[in-house]
Chains A and B, each alone.
Chain A
């Protein structure tokens, strides 16, 4: 648990942070957000004492951080920054080993830990351990930055726009990966960003700051539904309902019982048996190849030409995508349903527009998903190759 008590930072008369107090529970991600100059980075840096507060105190599990040596404190708090700051003269593995080495770990333990962390952030240790930072892409460097912050397994992680310096596509991927890692590791994270979507996606709590003040400290849902001030309302934007969708993962609302078949003929049989409009077509290994729409047949198209063939990479979404992405995919392609596939393109389920609508209204999306636009049967297991 991290507690900030009446933290104030003044620079020769200028108040950067003004009487800030909030608490972050163990295992939570608290995101500090606000316009530039609002004091969010200063606040973050006061937690590991890179900046000393003018007044107030920071407690780590009840211990006043001022009673610890700054260097000792920092060695037990992970630190990742936007510019990453990897040491260019050290290899990736040596960079990750920085804090364990400062802590005097044994060599074997350090090496094993570096490999473990590279795997955690999704980089092949045999390829990356010996590379130098200048040989990495922006996204790879940011991943190593996070791995390095996690090296000594600190309970607390401070991250200052850790995904700020990469392109939007990479940032999106890094956010998904970070969320996955966080679910596994349950660190207490304080995360600075200026990107509202990033905040809403990753935060358990959002601290919205303005001119050194805390405007509101709440869950993203509360912030979106009940903004405390006009500033909060304006800052999170008019599309609060849409933003809410980025909080919901596709696999929490998708329906997994989807009729599917391997060819047009059996799809027709399946459609009749399940009285379903759509039957998905998959290869024998379950890879999504397209679908058969009863309406197309009703218009008199011959069965052989009736199927819509698609490339799952362009048409489907992954289970860890957000509903916002699923909705965007539907609008983009003009469909009311979007299939959900795993990494290999195997059909896992379907999300429909009405699922999204329900989630947007704030109802329990998962429960609501049972009565559907996608008229489907009950015993078609889409995951099995048998269909």
Chain B
């Protein structure tokens, strides 16, 4: 009885606090600050303060929730929670696999399904809102899902072929299929699919602030919108993490111990751990950032350095690539996106799958 209770508490702790909700949501909100800040710097602006995403969520929590008169209330209110549940499960699963190697056969397939959950919930919620703008957004989101799911799954098939047909993420994360022609192709296409899944700029067709007035999210307000913002922030953690695990060999299980190791710098009080030094640099630059734009940039750099020292360098790499794509491309039309994903990406991946199969059959690793 007590053992069962203990197990239940441990499970709840995993899901709600450490690798699950609290950790991933905070991590994601900080990552979304980095996205906004770097975009601002690219546009030669100053950008939002560090806690801005947290302020936004807290503010939305305190606002009135308006539900359109003709909306299907249950679905409209339930959809954000369904999306949150999906991304919560996925984040807990991926972090547990990273930290503890808890894996089961076929978890990559479960992960692929769970990744689609937030988008499906978004479609449900927006089509329940009885708004014509949201309806257009819904149609676009559906077409977008149909276009990027095919290349994404093909990309994972390349990885499964390359890693010898294993369907467990922990086993896949031991290898780096990206160091081969087919793996590289699959990685690049999967990166673009992730961009579309996150709803970032070349593929933010469904939200389209300028012509649809934030499209699918149009009718959401108050706490429900806050839930969507948190879901989007968590996706920003989970999707790059998944890409790292599948293509780049995963994050080290002891990914936090990099911060606990003693630093090579000698101080009067001995060799402080790297984490403490980063924390001090952090607080100092954070306080000074209130006075100067340039120290603000320093704060950003120290945050990224902390991530890299903590062994999250591969995650940072993917986020940087995503930000670069976001800031250098204009939005495409939905038909252009479909053509791009089906014809170009699909064709490239068909070639990649054949290359991978040939490489496997003849034992050529670099194919």
Q: A and B, one complex?
A: no
Residues of B within 8 A of A (CB): none
Residues of A within 8 A of B (CB): none
